[in-house]
Amino acid sequence: MLCVYKGLPSDDAFGVTYGMISGVMTWIALGELLPSAREHDPADKVTSRFLALGMALMASTLILLAYTGAP
């Protein structure tokens, strides 16, 4: 990795960077991908179900990781 500065970034820098990246990813998912999926599924036969399923899967994975003590 090319570094312009010496040492590692501070925890605050990582927090700000990850926060900005997660905001962009959320915008892309909810602002771009979901409307596009609804255009291809106008009757909403699968889009909402799989959105909820994906959210439940991510939540359960995070809960399992928290209980197993994974970093």
Threshold 0.85, pTM exceeds: no
Reduce the DSSP state of residue 30 to 3 states and report it.
Answer: helix
34, 55 in Cβ contact below 8 A? no
H helix runs in the chain, sequence order: 11-27, 34-40, 47-68
DSSP character at residue 1: -
Output the pLDDT for position 6.
64
Domain ranges across the chain: 43-71
Structure tokens at 68: 């197993």
Say if residue 3's pLDDT is above 60.
Answer: no
Output the pLDDT for position 9.
74
- 4 band by pLDDT with thresholds 50, 70 and 90: low
Neighbours of 37 (CB within 10 A): 15
Query: pLDDT by residue (tens digit) across 19-64?
Result: 999 999 999 998 999 999 999 999 999 999 999 999 999 999 999 9
